[in-house]
Amino acid sequence: MNDKKQTPLFREEAIRHRTRALFGDVVLAAPLSTWLITGLLVVVLAGVVAFGILGSVQIDDESVSIWRWILGRNS
């Protein structure tokens, strides 16, 4: 049989260095511009929904809600 001692695949120093990284904190921080753009999109979307729900269009002396007008359900 073979009496040779097997050498490890990685050096001991490399293994110690990598295991230290496993105990660190993960910080998920988005830049301010991302938050501003997201907030702006939420406000615009809320405005569009509010306009669709609360808005109305005058067609042939009859008031039709925006959503019914867009979907073609004018009756």
The answer to whether residue 37 sits within a structural domain is yes
Tell me if 24 is assigned to some domain: no
Angle in degrees, CA 70, 74, 75, rounded to 5: 155
Provide the pLDDT for residue 61: 84
Residue ranges making up the domain that contains 37: 31-75
Residue 75 lies in a domain: yes
Query: Is 26 part of a structural domain of the chain?
Result: no
Give the residue-averaged pLDDT of 66-74: 79
Q: What pLDDT is attached to residue 70?
A: 84
Q: How many residues does the chain have?
A: 75
Residue 75 has pLDDT above 60, yes or no: no
**Rounded Cα–Cα distance for residues 44 and 37 (Å):** 11
Please tell me the pTM assigned to this model.
0.53
So what's the pLDDT on residue 71?
Answer: 85
pLDDT in tens, 20-44: 666 666 677 889 999 999 999 999 9
Domain count, the chain: 1
Q: Tell me whether residue 21 is in a domain.
A: no
